[in-house]
Amino acid sequence: MDGNASCEDVDNIDWDTEDELEIQDIPVSSCSRLTPPGEESVAGTGEASSSVDPSSHSKLVHHFIGMGFSEKLVTKAIEENGQGNTESILETLLTYSALEDSPQQQQCVNSDKSSPEYDESFLDDLSDTDSWAENELAENMNSLSDKDRTLLSLVNMGYTVEEASIAMDRCGPEASIEELTDFICAAQVSKEADAYLQELPCEAKPKPNIFSGNGKHKRKFYEHELWRKKKQKGYQNTALDEDTEMIRLPIPMIGFGVPTEPCPLIHRTLPEAAIGPPYFYYENVALAPKGVWDTIKRFLYDVDPEFVDSKFFCATARKRGYIHNLPIKNRFPLLPLPPQTIHEALPLTRKWWPSWDQRTHLNCLQTCICSAKLTERIRKSLEPWDGEPPMHVQNYVLHECRKWNLVWVGRNKVAPLEADEVEMLLGFPRNHTRGGGISRTDRYKSLGNSFQVDTVAYHLSVLKDIFPGGINVLSLFSGIGGAEVALHRLGVPLKTVVSVEISEVNRNIVRSWWEQTNQKGTLIDMTDVQELNGDRLEQLIGTFGGFDLVIGGSPCNNLAGSNRHSRDGLEGKESSLFFDYFRILDLVKCIMGSKQ
């Protein structure tokens, strides 16, 4: 993205919000691309194949005809895109349908079909369909049904047609884009986790004496034990009934309690394997299909997740699940309490906010913002109306406002959030991500993939009395330091922080914050979780006396190097991050346990 974060060039846009990517640092393998029974899977290469299989071509034509498109349109779309890219074919078909249904475009087509100017203009219009925000046919897209518009939006964000269709069927017609993308991401990690477990070694090895031998032997033991546990859990996973959903999301999503709602009476007993030291805290996306949280729960010592929506802490929604072994009594929030609604957080918007926009909270904050062209189209769509615009205009405007978190800054004028406003909404200090060579683009990207500080701080608040003299933290996938900021704001001294973060931009942000807040402890930067093997962890634990807290954010967010278009499986460098979190946590527990 450009520093203006306008999303003008779709190839440079990072569409990956934290909600979309945090459990999907997983490649979309061939097994995850579902095709109708009896039909062949078509790989999306983005280029037309030089040799066309007549049988495959015929099946592809019938596939789209079965979706309700005419044979003529299907044939034309395949000719333009080639049969190797089903997403582009679908986008073209939906665009054709929108144009056919539009009286203005129909008149243009009928009046001068043979005109070279018409052909050139038509192709120019289609050239922008890769970007939802930049699509010059946005007005014509209003003629699409809500279902088709949602499908096209998901496809434009990089998901396959099959993934989008299944998510829409499972989540229902009222599901938001945020919920659908969360569902797709969670489905991907669930399938890949099963594949990963099936590839584990099946031969058992003799168990060495953990208390004898040198560090190298102990490290091998720790790693063997890790594989043994994974294999055992893999068998448990296979034995589960796929139709059984063991974990359900609560309504409202307040976990074990939030400061703004009546506190439920909850008592929980942790499994013995989960009891600290160290304490651990792991965050991931809450909205997921069946089985995903059961898999995560099994890996993390069968601790039940706590599901919380950050809208109970601030003016923006952020549905998350947290697995941790922290106490849940005597929590307290950061003070002063942050603004709870859009108007409280952004009071200058109240003057211009129309009565028909009834939003009180923003949706999950993204890693990029919309283009100036989109805000111009919204202004032009509203200007002809003195009073309330007609319902179809309201629906169009509200759809874009919800999607891009647009706020009202003038009469008929909406605008994306400024980076400073995003910092405030997420609980970071002002200018936390500003300056020092960090572009505006990087600010949005880093903030969109971060913790919501007030939410995390509420959970971590119990540590203040437990560690009055300070705490040693192992922070995995640190991002811009949401956990560190939360602990600092709580008044928990940071004695040692080992921060693992692949992004140099984010490491610089954390280092700058550390120096500006005059931290007295030690900050150790690491770039790759693969560096944290048994030997390195033993060295760190021996030096600092162990870790009190092992905290990890979303393992599949973009900050850790995930990319929807270049992933190399769960065992790849970036896509194995969830299992790296478990691997490192388990090693820390084993090493610290052996020293007691």
Residue 515 falls inside a structural domain: yes
* Residue ending a domain, choose from 189, 219, 251: 189
31 catalytically annotated = no
Residue 498 falls inside a structural domain: yes
Q: Are residues 369 and 504 in the same domain?
A: yes
Q: Are residues 391 and 524 in the same domain?
A: yes
Q: Of 256-260, 390-394, 553-557, which gets the smallest average pLDDT?
A: 553-557
Residue 39 falls inside a structural domain: no
* Residue ending a domain, choose from 120, 154, 189: 189
Q: Of 242-246, 260-264, 317-321, 360-364, which gets the smallest average pLDDT?
A: 242-246
pLDDT at 52 over 70: no
The active-site residue out of 364, 368, 370, 556 is 556
> Whole-angstrom Cα distance, residue 572 to residue 577?
9
What is the pLDDT, as a whole number, of residue 195? 54
What is the pLDDT, as a whole number, of residue 576? 53
Token pair for residue 42? Answer: 């078509």
DSSP string of 124-155?
A: HHHTTTT-TTT-TTHHHHTTS-HHHHHHHHHH
Q: Of 38-52, 94-108, 303-317, 423-437, which gets the smallest average pLDDT?
A: 38-52
pLDDT at 4 over 90: no
- Bridge pairing between strands 413-415 and 319-324: unpaired
pLDDT at 485 over 50: yes
What is the pLDDT, as a whole number, of residue 102? 45
Cβ neighbours of residue 60 closer than 8 Å, sequence gap 6 or more: 42, 78, 83, 86, 89
What is the pLDDT, as a whole number, of residue 270? 94
Residue 210 falls inside a structural domain: no
The tens digit of pLDDT for each residue in 86-110 reads 767 877 777 666 555 544 444 443 4
Mean pLDDT, range 301-309, rounded to an integer: 94
Residue 37 falls inside a structural domain: no
Q: Are residues 180 and 243 in the same domain?
A: no
The answer to whether the CB of 170 falls within 8 A of the CB of 146 is: no
What is the pLDDT, as a whole number, of residue 146? 77
Residue 199 falls inside a structural domain: no
pLDDT at 523 over 70: yes
Proportion of the chain above pLDDT 70, given as a percent: 67
Q: In whole numbers, what is the pLDDT of the chain averaged over residues? A: 75
The answer to whether the CB of 537 falls within 8 A of the CB of 588 is: yes
Q: Are residues 315 and 419 in the same domain?
A: yes
Name the residue range of residue 68's domain: 10-31+55-189
End-to-end Cα distance, the chain: 50
> Whole-angstrom Cα distance, residue 5 to residue 1?
6
Q: Are residues 345 and 277 in the same domain?
A: yes
Mean pLDDT, range 65-75, rounded to an integer: 80
Mean pLDDT, range 484-492, rounded to an integer: 98
Token pair for residue 362? Answer: 């923003």
pLDDT at 476 over 80: yes
Q: Are residues 122 and 263 in the same domain?
A: no
Backbone angles phi, psi at 221, to 5 degrees: -65, -45
The tens digit of pLDDT for each residue in 190-243 reads 565 555 455 544 443 333 343 334 445 445 555 555 545 554 554 344 334 444
158 vs 219: which has the higher pLDDT: 158
* Residue ending a domain, choose from 162, 189, 216: 189
Q: Are residues 180 and 269 in the same domain?
A: no
What is the pLDDT, as a whole number, of residue 422? 97
The tens digit of pLDDT for each residue in 105-144 reads 444 434 443 333 334 333 333 333 334 434 444 544 555 6
Q: Are residues 157 and 247 in the same domain?
A: no
Q: Are residues 402 and 511 in the same domain?
A: yes
Q: Are residues 175 and 296 in the same domain?
A: no
Q: To which H or E segment does residue 187 belong?
A: helix 177-198
What is the pLDDT, as a whole number, of residue 133? 39
Number of domains in the chain: 2
Q: Are residues 174 and 257 in the same domain?
A: no
Residue 202 falls inside a structural domain: no
Token pair for residue 131? Answer: 């970007």
Residue 99 falls inside a structural domain: yes
